[in-house]
A and B are shown apart, each in its own frame.
Chain A
Amino acid sequence: MTKNEALFNYTLRLGDDSLILGQRLAEWCGHGPILEEDIAITNISLDLIGQATNLLNYAALIENKDRNADNIAFLRLEKEYCNILLVEQLNGDFGDTMMRQFLFDAFRKPLFEMLQFSKDKQLAAIAEKSLKETKYHLKHSSEWIIRLGDGTEESHQRVQNSLTNLWRYTDELFFTDESDTLLSGLGIIPDFSKIKELWSANVTAVFEQATLQMPANNWQFEGGRKGRHSEHMGYLLAELQYMQRAYPNMEW
């Protein structure tokens, strides 16, 4: 594997995570539990789609095969998307959405904090930019997890269920293969074990404050990074790709 191939894989993975979660969050538009949250969730969605645009544009540049961010975002087959399974999971109730967001934000913040010092200038720039937005997202999702967990009996029980359910998708946040090994050896990406340490410390502290029980680390799902997705992915892509499939090359 060449350095460029590894860099393409890595950038595409980060881009797909942002794109698919951004799409999921956009489904809340007009359905938020209160107006302020409707606006908050869609703002976060917009930041993620923006980050996806930067990442996929860069992936296209590295690949150098006459594709742009739009082609990559809208015209691939399901098995070519390499986002983690966590981000494609259904929105569920508000607690499920916030739990998914918190587990993701708590990963993204330390990732961007370290990636902004990457030897690859463009990845560093994207990380530096995205970090400022991610800090807002993490504060928002952390505070909701604490409010819901340490809230009423019902909110506690429901968000505990969200945690137990979504916990099974968290190992994949730290998926690594030869692309990661190659890039981390070159100082282009940070060491995932360091990020996992920071992530674990952060989620443990928030769950403690939220009076939530950490699930036993048993069965974990994986496959998204290799293009094997859950059944929800096809429906999501049908909506995401509809306009470009129905009206090829249309522009807004």
Chain B
Amino acid sequence: MVTKEEIYSWLEEVSDPEVPVLSIIDLGVVRNVSFENNSWQITLTPTYSGCPAMQTMEEEILLKLKERGLSTVNILTTLSPAWTTDWLSENGRKKLKAYGIAPPEDEQDKSLLFSSPTIVPCPLCNSKNTRLISQFGSTACKAHYQCSACQEPFDYFKCLK
């Protein structure tokens, strides 16, 4: 009999298709793994409502577990509690930075208009002299910044709470 720990370790091998440096475990989207009525149930939660990567993740999970000999696997989706970047693992944050994406920083209240944007250190040169280009970036979970020190544009994995 396969154990829950083994399933988790196999899920570590499934990556986020949009940020391939992160596993789905790092990302915090796997909310539960359980064995019920003779089959494994994996419960996922989406990062953003419209995240197009969720379907790919589900397919990859089924494929990965099938390779390990598990063919009766159900994937369930839960919306509450809603995903937050607080669920990103410490390891995931390090991997993001090494990959050139600034990990989430604590952010101020979004109801304040024209507030000074969060200070996000440049993932390449570590300078704090960076500026927000756009709150919306290449995927739903990222904003677009530029470093004023080394001039490099970079993605910021934005804080969602």
Q: With A47-B140, A128-B80 as known contacts, state yes or no: A136 contacts B49, CB within 8 Å.
A: no
Q: Which of A48-56, A60-68, A72-80, A169-177 lies at the binding interface?
A: A48-56
Main SS of the interface on chain B? loop
Q: Mark A residues whose CB is within 8 Å of B.
A: 36-37, 39-40, 43-44, 46-51, 53-54, 121-122, 124-126, 128-133, 135-136, 138-140, 142-143, 146, 206, 209
Q: Find out whether the CB atom of B111 lies under 8 angstroms from the CB atom of A51.
A: no
Answer whether A48 and B79 are a contact pair too, CB < 8 Å, given A39-B136, A43-B136, A136-B110.
Answer: no
The residue from B48, B111, B134, B137 contacting A135, defined by CB atoms under 8 A apart: B111
Chain B residues proximal to chain A, CB less than 8 Å? 46, 48-52, 78-84, 110-111, 113-114, 133-138, 140, 144, 160-161
Complex CA distance for A36 and B113, rounded to whole angstroms: 19
Q: Which residue of A lies closest to B109 (CB)?
A: A135
Does B111 contact A139, Cβ atoms closer than 8 Å?
A: yes
Is A46 touching B140 in the complex (CB atoms < 8 A)? yes
Q: Among A39, A129, A139, which residue has its beta carbon within 8 angstroms of that of B49?
A: A129
What's the least CB distance linking A190 to chain B, in Å? 17
Which residues in A have their C-beta under 8 angstroms from that of B138? 39
Chain A interface, >50% SS class: helix
CA distance A46 to B136 in the complex (A): 11
Residue of A50, A122, A142, A146 near B48 (CB, 8 A) is A50
On chain B, the residues within 8 Å of A122 by CB distance are 79
Q: A37-B134, A43-B140 are in contact. List 20 more A-B contacts (CB 8 A).
A: A36-B133, A36-B136, A43-B136, A47-B50, A53-B50, A122-B79, A124-B80, A125-B79, A126-B79, A128-B79, A129-B80, A129-B83, A131-B82, A132-B84, A136-B110, A138-B111, A140-B135, A142-B113, A146-B113, A206-B113
Q: Which residues of B contact A125 (CB under 8 A)?
A: 78-80, 82
Please indicate the chain A residues that have their CB under 8 angstroms from the CB of B135 in the complex: 40, 136, 139-140
List chain B residues, Cβ under 8 A from A130: 49
Q: Are A143 and B144 in contact, with the CB atoms below 8 A?
A: no
Q: Tell me which residues across on chain A come within 8 A of B136, comparing CB atoms.
A: 36, 39-40, 43-44, 136, 140
Q: Is the CB of A47 within 8 A of B48?
A: yes
Are the CB atoms of B48 and A143 closer together than 8 Å? no
Q: How far is the CB of A128 from chain B (nearest CB, A)?
A: 5
- The residue in chain B whose Cβ has the minimal distance to the Cβ of A57 is B77
Kindly name the residue among A121, A129, A133 whose own CB sees the greatest number of chain B CB atoms within 10 A. Answer: A129
When the two chains form their complex, are residues A36 and B79 in contact, meaning their CB atoms are under 8 A apart?
no
Residues of A within 8 A of B83 (CB): 129
Contact status of A132 and B161, CB under 8 A, knowing A39-B134, A140-B135? yes
Contact A46 B82, beta carbon cutoff 8 Å: no
Do B113 and A143 touch across chains, with their CB atoms under 8 A apart? yes
Nearest B-chain residue to A202, judged by Cβ: B111
List chain A residues, Cβ under 8 A from B81.
128
Expressed in whole angstroms, the minimum distance between the Cβ of A56 and any Cβ of chain B is 12
Q: Assess the A49–B50 pair: CB atoms within 8 A.
A: yes
Q: Are A128 and B82 in contact (CB under 8 A)?
A: yes
Shortest C-beta distance, B65 to chain A (Å), equals: 23
